[in-house]
């Protein structure tokens, strides 16, 4: 980068001068700014972009003698001064080659910013508010407004902040290294919100690389990857009632019905180039829709910044910034705020399991495998082409846990669904023999990742009561949703992938063959109460050639809709919280495509509209009937009535609330109506038909039980009473037991009874 080595600085030795001018100096604060030079003082500034520099200070006056000498053609300026006061302060008047002049503070006159306590907590891996220190923060230092920058790059030889403000020249704002922790820092005066910046690193191998800020709060997306300075302290929330109530809820005893959404493709604006909706537009359209449909929560596929659309957000480069595709961070806060005001919780998909290899991201950040494992047998996901975090490193665990807390803190997020937990738990995940490294005991369990997940859950629940953490875990790992003090991983809930697989397989079979696969629909109840489960029909089931949920159903169009209605109602009747991916609620025919909107025009069709209304009714019923949710994790809340009638593909079971409310469900998984079908019940009374997926309003044939039936004194299936029912085809019916009211006797009879007892 240098063009000449002479004339040399009269106050710097050759090696230090050369390192400074070639942007390889490891400690620029030791030479730039104000320093002692023997009995005199010297102020140095490296500004290759200016013509001249003049010192401005009220303490020593202002005249032409205070112009700096340009001691090197590459822009090194020096000024020697005598007898400066101890509290000496100054500014620099920069004159550019265009003739324009500005008055600036010298960034190299400011003292260290990060405290030793901060660096200690970070090195220990327990600085939970790390995001309040790292990255770019608008602040005031010694009465001067500007922006502080911190980045972790312990093996870099030099780190600079570059941006439009210094013409992306890494020589102008090199940073100070805090040797005890490997963090680099600088305070740059006068920078304002919206400034574009990156970190320019001279890595340990001597290569110059540009990196986006790992802690950036706002960022460009796509091919443009600069970080942006953003003020996170400006937004004023209006969800205090929601936040206060949230902390009082025991979520395992609450109804949780989740609508999973990809913000970029839920609805688009075809008249404006098929653009996705902004956060404000989503607040105005998506939130009212979710509320109308009766869902309790929205789960957003990853909103953290990501360059590749086709990753759906699961290959994150900006862990601390909501994607700028839909607006700025305050716009996203407005979206969350509006959801809370409407009584809807927000869950984010969070991706601590891997990150992409994009050069501007975390990969080989300082020239070394800093965030990822050095051994590719531990550090790479071959299936996804991504890198795996090194969970054994304190600073990496701290980065991830602080990131989770950041979303809960600054964005009032109500839950984090952790992606691909199985890939984190097992060292041999998707690896053939010989291509993975056993743990210290010779096993396949990733002990470091296990410790990280436990610590993540402990800290999140400790600091934010009322939130939920959810594991997407597809194996039989024990205790995923059990507390860590009982040996579990500490998650609040676990996705029930086994239920999803078995039921989808059963539902995809022609009804005539379902009799041979009765075990597919009963097996989930053998383990349903081992975890706090969430039943999920997620985006993963409607991509990569799997077909939409409606297209998975067998039969003609009528049977496809009838099967899907029955399946959805079965899901709501089964123990476990609920999740459905967008488009499934109205029967999307095509697979999900992240580049286009859902097929909303289908709602003009009677069957699609009927399916949508049934989902709305299911959500209302689910939220209003404690029997469907308050004992989801206990055998006390579920009882088989009969699962042996495989020949007719009929099952019957009951759900019971903690206060004794009973709802009986019967499923007829064939297209044959069943007249006079008897099932056993324990309670005397009227059983009101509160759900029938064959109702005409949903698009069915309207076969039912005329509002309900009375129990008969006929013992059946080991129970003292029974119900005689009409079972509609490919349908589920739900019957709520109503305890008979005591018979009111005439006053004369009551008086006669009292007299007889007296006699």
Query: Is residue 326 within 8 Å of 278, Cβ to Cβ?
Result: yes
Distance CA 58, CA 490 (A): 61
Is 472 designated active site? yes
Distance CA 461, CA 237 (A): 22
Helix (H, G, I), strand (E, B) or coil at 40: strand
**Encoded tokens for 231:** 């003020």
DSSP code string of 487-514? TS---SEEE-HHHHHHHHHHHTS-GGGG
Query: Is residue 396 within 8 Å of 389, Cβ to Cβ?
Result: yes
Give me the catalytic one of 364, 472, 541, 625: 472
Going by C-alpha positions, the residue among 214, 197, 296 that lies closest to residue 580 is: 296
Distance CA 675, CA 33 (A): 92
Give me the catalytic one of 414, 419, 630, 633: 419
Listed in sequence order, the residues at least 6 apart from 109 whose beta carbon sits closer than 8 Å to its beta carbon are: 33, 34, 89, 90
Distance CA 601, CA 615 (A): 18
Torsion angle in degrees (nearest 10) through CA of 685, 690, 694, 700: 140
The 10 Å Cβ neighbour count of residue 440 is 6
Find tokens 């100054």 and name the residue.
90
Query: Is residue 577 within 8 Å of 633, Cβ to Cβ?
Result: no
Query: Is residue 550 within 8 Å of 564, Cβ to Cβ?
Result: yes
Going by C-alpha positions, the residue among 145, 144, 149 that lies closest to residue 200 is: 149
Backbone angles phi, psi at 303, to 5 degrees: -105, -5
Tell me the residue length of the chain. Answer: 759
- H helices of 574-637, in order, are 606-624
Distance CA 612, CA 621 (A): 14
Distance CA 619, CA 631 (A): 17
Q: Is the peptide bond before 665 cis (omega within 30 degrees of 0)?
A: no
- Compute the C-alpha angle 480/571/557, nearest 5°: 135
Query: Is residue 328 within 8 Å of 311, Cβ to Cβ?
Result: no
Tell the burial category of 410 from Cβ atoms under 10 Å away from its Cβ (0-12, 13-18, 19+): middle
Is 428 designated active site? no
Q: Cα separations (Å) of 153 from 156, 287, 703?
A: 6, 41, 69
Query: Is residue 361 within 8 Å of 212, Cβ to Cβ?
Result: yes
Q: Which residues pair with 471 in a beta bridge?
A: 418, 494
Distance CA 90, CA 88 (A): 7
Residues classed as catalytic: 419, 472
């Amino acid at each position: 980068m240098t063009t000449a080595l002479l004339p040399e600085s009269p106050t710097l030795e050759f090696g230090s001068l050369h390192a400074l001018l070639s942007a390889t100096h490891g400690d620029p604060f030791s030479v730039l700014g104000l320093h002692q030079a023997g009995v005199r003082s010297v102020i140095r500034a490296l500004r290759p972009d200016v013509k001249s520099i003049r010192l401005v200070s009220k303490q020593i006056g202002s005249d032409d003698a205070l112009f700096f000498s340009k001691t090197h053609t590459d822009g090194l300026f020096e000024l020697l001064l005598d007898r400066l006061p101890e509290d000496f302060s100054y500014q620099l008047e920069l004159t550019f080659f265009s003739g324009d002049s500005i008055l600036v503070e010298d960034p190299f006159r400011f003292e260290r910013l990060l405290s030793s306590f901060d660096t200690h907590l970070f090195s220990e891996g327990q600085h939970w508010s790390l995001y309040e220190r790292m990255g770019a923060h608008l602040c005031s230092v010694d009465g001067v407004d500007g922006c502080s920058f911190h980045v972790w790059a312990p093996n870099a030889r030099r780190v600079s902040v570059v941006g439009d403000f210094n013409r992306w020249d890494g020589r102008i704002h090199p940073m100070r290294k805090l040797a005890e922790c490997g963090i680099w820092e600088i305070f740059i005066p006068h920078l304002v919100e919206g400034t574009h910046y990156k970190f320019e690193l001279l890595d340990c191998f001597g290569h110059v690389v540009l990196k986006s800020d790992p802690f950036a709060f706002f960022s460009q997306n796509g091919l443009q990857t600069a970080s942006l300075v953003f003020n996170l302290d400006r937004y004023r929330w209006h969800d205090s009632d929601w936040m206060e109530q949230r902390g009082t809820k025991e979520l395992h005893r609450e109804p949780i019905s989740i609508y999973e959404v990809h913000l970029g493709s839920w609805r688009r604006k075809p008249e404006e180039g098929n653009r996705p909706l902004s956060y404000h537009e989503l607040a105005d359209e998506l939130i009212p829709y979710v509320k109308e449909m009766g869902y309790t929560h929205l789960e957003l596929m990853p909103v953290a910044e990501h360059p590749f659309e086709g990753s759906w957000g699961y290959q994150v480069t900006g862990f601390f910034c909501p994607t700028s595709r839909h607006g700025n961070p305050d716009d996203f806060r407005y979206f969350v705020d509006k959801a809370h005001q409407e009584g809807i919780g927000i869950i984010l998909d969070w991706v601590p399991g891997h990150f992409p290899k994009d050069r501007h991201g975390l990969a080989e950040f300082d020239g070394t495998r800093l965030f990822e494992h050095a051994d590719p047998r531990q550090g790479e996901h071959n299936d996804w082409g991504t890198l795996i975090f090194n969970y054994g490193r304190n600073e990496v665990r701290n980065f991830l846990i602080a990131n989770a807390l950041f979303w809960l803190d600054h964005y009032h997020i109500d839950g984090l669904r952790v992606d691909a937990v199985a890939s984190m738990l097992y060292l041999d995940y998707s690896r053939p023999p010989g291509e993975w490294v056993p743990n210290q005991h010779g096993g396949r369990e990733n002990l470091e990742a296990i410790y990280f997940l436990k610590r993540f859950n402990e800290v999140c629940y400790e600091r934010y009561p009322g939130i939920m953490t959810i594991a997407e875990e597809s194996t039989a790992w024990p205790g995923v949703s059990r507390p860590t003090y009982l040996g579990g991983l500490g998650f609040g809930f676990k996705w029930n992938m086994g239920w999803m697989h078995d039921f989808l397989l059963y539902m995809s079979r022609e009804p005539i063959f379902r009799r041979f696969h009765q075990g597919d629909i009963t097996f989930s109840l053998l383990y349903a109460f081992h975890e706090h489960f969430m039943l999920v029909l997620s985006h993963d089931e409607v991509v990569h050639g799997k077909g939409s949920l409606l297209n998975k159903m067998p039969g003609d169009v009528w049977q496809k809709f009838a099967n899907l209605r029955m399946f959805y109602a079965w899901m709501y009747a089964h123990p476990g919280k609920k999740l459905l991916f967008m488009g499934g609620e109205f029967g999307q025919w095509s697979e999900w495509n992240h580049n286009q909107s859902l097929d909303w025009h289908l709602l003009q069709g009677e069957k699609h509209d009927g399916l949508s209304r049934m989902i709305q009714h299911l959500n209302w019923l689910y939220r209003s009937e404690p029997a469907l949710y308050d004992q989801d994790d206990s055998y006390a809340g579920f009882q088989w009535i009969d699962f042996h009638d495989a020949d007719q593909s009929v099952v019957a079971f009951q759900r019971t609330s903690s206060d004794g409310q009973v709802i009986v469900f019967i499923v007829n998984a064939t297209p044959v109506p069943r007249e006079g079908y008897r099932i056993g019940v324990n309670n005397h009374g009227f059983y009101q038909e509160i759900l029938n997926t064959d109702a005409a309003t949903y698009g069915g044939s309207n076969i039912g039980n005329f509002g309900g039936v009375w129990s008969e004194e006929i013992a059946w299936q080991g129970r003292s009473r029974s119900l005689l029912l009409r079972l509609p085809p490919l349908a589920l019916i739900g019957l709520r037991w109503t305890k008979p009211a005591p018979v009111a006797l005439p006053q004369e009879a009551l008086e006669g009874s009292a007299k007889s007892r007296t006699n």
